[in-house]
């Protein structure tokens, strides 16, 4: 199973984009994902954790929501493109 924890922002990328704006990934179906306004996931920093480490820092009440599958696949694809 895959768990992705990402910061989100409602601040769109600047024009022209800053360095960090290049790592903003749009959440196209933001309403279906439970977000109150158009949002972007921030895919700048990647951290690998074991399941035990993850469970020690992220608790069930920390969840805001789950992404719908199409947005999750898009987020994963964009993270891979930006970090490969």
In degrees and rounded to multiples of 5, residue 6 shows phi and psi of -135, 145
Q: Which structure tokens are listed for 45?
A: 């920093």
- Mind listing the pLDDT tens digit of every residue in the chain (84 residues)? 567 778 899 999 999 999 999 999 999 999 999 899 999 999 998 888 888 888 898 888 877 778 899 999 999 999 999 998
In this prediction the pTM is 0.80
First to last CA, the chain: 22
Measure the CA angle with vertex 34, ends 43 and 51; round to 5°: 50
């Amino acid at each position: 199973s895959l768990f992705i924890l990402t910061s989100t922002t409602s601040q769109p990328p600047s024009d022209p984009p800053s360095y960090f704006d290049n790592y903003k990934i749009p959440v196209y179906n933001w309403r279906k994902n439970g977000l109150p306004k158009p949002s972007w996931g921030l895919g700048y920093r990647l951290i690998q954790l074991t399941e035990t480490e993850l469970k020690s820092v992220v608790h069930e009440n920390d969840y805001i929501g789950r992404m719908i599958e199409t947005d999750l696949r898009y987020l994963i694809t964009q993270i891979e493109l930006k970090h490969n």
